[in-house]
Amino acid sequence: MPTLSHRQKKKDSKKDSGLFLLHTDGCGTKAILAYIYWRETGSLMGFSSVAEDALVMNTDDFLTTGAFDRFIFTSTLARNKERIPDEVILELRKASYDFTTLLHNHGINAKLMGGETADLSDIVRTLTVDATCATWMNSSQLIDAANIKPDSYIVGLASAGQTSYETRYNSGIGANGLTSARHDLLEKSYLNAYPETVEATISNEYLYRGDYALTTPLNFSNSSINLPTNPSTDSSTHPSHPSTNPSTYATSTTNSTITLGEALLAPTRTYLPVMKEVFKNFKSKSIQEVIQGILHLTGGGQTKGLRFGTDIHYIKDNLFTFPLIFQLLRKKTRLREMFQVYNCGHRFEIIVPSEKYAREIIDIAKTFRLDAKIIGYTEKNPNKAQLPADRNDGHNNCVTIHHEKQKYTYTL
């Protein structure tokens, strides 16, 4: 989560004190996939994706606080110069610049200020791609997920598909769980070909134990990956509003075949253009009254809410249909574990107190061809946790996920 500090201004009741936000993140082991894909195909596509991942993992964490503009980026690259040539570094820089151009095209100010490229062949086996981002905002616009309350609606924004601001189909994988995905899906031949991509002390039985090559084609043709056209299937029922009658959404489909490598290396989707319009839509209201909290489902996957709010039971009974990449992972991973690692179809949640606000957000998302729907609700957690003193963090939250006629419950 971003680090916040107050920037004091002259005492003036008409002025709002500013907040300076600082955040750092990266693409994680997804860089290894980009490296193998390049070695196998000669394509730099994967490096473009991981450069964007490093920036989006920063900006979209910022979005959870209400910050959506005035970004300053620096990049930190560490490479094994014997394996990663200058052309890769140039591609990473170009992709970072292209992302700031995308933001500018949507009226979002962003500036890439350079960074550090370190040649660390004795330490780094391939490449690491990280970034630091800074911004500032008015404190009156700050959204604090600690304020999430019971009897609220959870709006999910899809991670897969192709929005109006994306140039190709996005598998929805994001930048989390890629170590597991790489070893669960890719075949053993990659271990022999690229021993530099694994930790030598780990038993081979856990490494590259999948059935696929990066070039294996995946057919997404006519696969409805997100929203239902039948309102009756949008079945999330808010306990305080049992008469909820969801509207009909357009189903998002794609007719294309991509490779597994392209799916695993799909760039992490940014929700900045959409959320900018959401914040603009509610500008006449106090943003804290409209949006109680925003969750970016990266680390922790669908269980992210466990650390936000107090005595909250998050009930998710209307998830998106698993996009194909998660259907493949499902063959190798238990569902209980998947929900703790992957976003499984939506990577962004907005918690609002009324169905009216939820529908407005969904309608805004549709203008960007982004699938969105009410995926669940919150209630007061009826169970008082009995935790030892060293684990009592004051949250006492619970997440329950309903999927395939099964129920999965998580606590801290």
What's at 342, amino acid-wise? Y
* Band of pLDDT at residue 394, cut at 50, 70 and 90: low
d(CA 274, CA 56): 14
Single out the residue in 121, 139, 157 at which a domain terminates: 139
pLDDT at 39 over 90: yes
Residue-level pLDDT at 382: 84
Residues 288, 358 share a domain: yes
Whether 189 is in a domain gets the answer: no
Query: Could you tell me the CATH number of the domain that includes residue 379?
Result: 3.90.650.10
Residue-level pLDDT at 4: 57
- Tally the domains of the chain: 2
pLDDT at 217 over 90: yes
Residue-level pLDDT at 7: 45
Residue-level pLDDT at 257: 86
Residue with tokens 């009897």: 151
Whether 387 is in a domain gets the answer: yes
Residue-level pLDDT at 251: 35
pLDDT at 390 over 60: no
* Band of pLDDT at residue 395, cut at 50, 70 and 90: confident
Residues 232, 333 share a domain: yes
Whether 203 is in a domain gets the answer: no
Residues 232, 132 share a domain: no
Burial of 167 (0-12, 13-18, 19+ CB in 10 A): exposed
Residues 228, 84 share a domain: no
Residues 244, 169 share a domain: yes
Residue-level pLDDT at 186: 98
Residue-level pLDDT at 177: 97
Whether 184 is in a domain gets the answer: no
Percent of residues, the chain, with pLDDT higher than 70: 85
| Higher per-residue pLDDT: 397 or 2 | 397
Residues 124, 39 share a domain: yes
Query: Residues 309-357: pLDDT tens digits?
Result: 999 999 999 999 999 999 999 999 999 999 999 999 999 999 999 999 9
Residues 322, 247 share a domain: yes
Query: Could you tell me the CATH number of the domain that includes residue 28?
Result: 3.30.1330.10
Alpha-carbon distances of 98 from 55, 93, 190, 194, 354, rounded to whole Å:
11, 9, 31, 30, 38
- Average pLDDT, rounded, for the chain: 89
pLDDT at 66 over 60: yes
Whether 206 is in a domain gets the answer: no
Whether 181 is in a domain gets the answer: no
Residues 168, 111 share a domain: no
Residues 152, 103 share a domain: no
pLDDT at 247 over 60: no
Residue-level pLDDT at 52: 98
Residue-level pLDDT at 1: 63
Whether 81 is in a domain gets the answer: yes
* Band of pLDDT at residue 252, cut at 50, 70 and 90: very low
Residue-level pLDDT at 187: 98
Residue 212: DSSP 8-state: B
Residues 166, 83 share a domain: no
Question: Helices (DSSP H) in 83-210: which residue ranges?
Answer: 86-105, 178-185, 189-193
Alpha-carbon distances of 192 from 113, 123, 128, 208, rounded to whole Å:
39, 21, 22, 10
Identify the domain containing residue 281 by its residue range: 145-174+221-255+266-411
DSSP letters along 100-132, please?
A: HHHHHHTT--EEEEEEEEEE-TTT-SSEEEEEE
What's at 262, amino acid-wise? E
Residues 349, 250 share a domain: yes
Residue-level pLDDT at 245: 35
Residue-level pLDDT at 225: 34
| Higher per-residue pLDDT: 411 or 8 | 411
d(CA 304, CA 319): 15
Query: Residues 295-314: pLDDT tens digits?
Result: 999 999 999 999 999 999 99
CB 289 within 8 A of CB 283: no
CB 173 within 8 A of CB 263: yes
* Band of pLDDT at residue 3, cut at 50, 70 and 90: low
Whether 3 is in a domain gets the answer: no
Q: CA quadruple 81, 87, 91, 93: dihedral positive or negative?
A: positive
Alpha-carbon distances of 113 from 68, 233, 275, 388, rounded to whole Å:
18, 47, 24, 46
Residues 406, 279 share a domain: yes
Query: Residues 144-193: pLDDT tens digits?
Result: 999 999 999 999 999 999 999 999 999 999 999 999 999 999 999 999 99
pTM, two decimal places = 0.89
Burial of 33 (0-12, 13-18, 19+ CB in 10 A): buried
Single out the residue in 85, 117, 139 at which a domain terminates: 139
Q: Are strands 346-352 and 127-138 parallel, antiparallel or unpaired?
A: unpaired
CB atoms within 10 A of CB 233: 12
Cβ partners under 8 Å of residue 79, min gap 6: 88, 89, 117, 118, 119, 120, 121, 124, 126, 127, 128
pLDDT at 239 over 80: no
- Residue 336's H or E segment, with its range, is helix 335-341
* Band of pLDDT at residue 16, cut at 50, 70 and 90: low
Burial of 324 (0-12, 13-18, 19+ CB in 10 A): buried
Token reading at 82: 């014997």
What is the pLDDT averaged over residues 39-44? 98
| Higher per-residue pLDDT: 394 or 44 | 44
Q: Which stretch of 14-23, 237-246, 341-350 has the lowest confidence by average pLDDT?
A: 237-246
E strands, 139-280, are 153-158, 217-219, 223-224, 253-254, 257-259
d(CA 357, CA 398): 24
